[in-house]
Structure 1
């Protein structure tokens, strides 16, 4: 299975998931806004505290895994695992809302 990663920056934060069929060609602003709200709520309510810290620091704050690991006092592979599990959980939650 081909995986594309989520890289959120100021220029592309409107694209919450990969382009590989996620939106099914939709450019509907309402659909995007609804998905942003769903994923924002999922980040707040469905992820563990460590997953939330790791994914927000990595994708929204642009920190490297090693930098996050140093701040948390854990190994960088642990940070990588938290990011991967959080991304998988968010993708799973989002799949319920895609046609």
Structure 2
């Protein structure tokens, strides 16, 4: 299984290299104040991909952290309740007054 994972990443890197080699052109980006930036197209695509990925990744990590914290709090509460509950159940012996007397 590890071999397939390495094969997948190598194939993905090869495809990225072929894409980069085939699209190595400069793109003019108009900035504020009349500035023009000349950026290579693969770099521009990488920056835009990361601009979309990083905020969602950070949101996912914080939501996961919050859920882990809530789960740990709940587990501690359950453990505290288990300690406070007696382990052996108490048995009650029925008394004579608890039964209804039947008269013929």
Same fold (TM over 0.5): no
Q: TM-score range by the shorter chain?
A: under 0.3
More strand by share: 2
The answer to which structure has the higher helix fraction is 2
Structure whose CA Rg is larger: 2
TM-score (norm 2): 0.26
Structure number with the bigger relative contact order (C-alpha 8 A, sep ≥ 6) is 1
Compute the TM-score of the two structures, normalised by the length of structure 1: 0.27
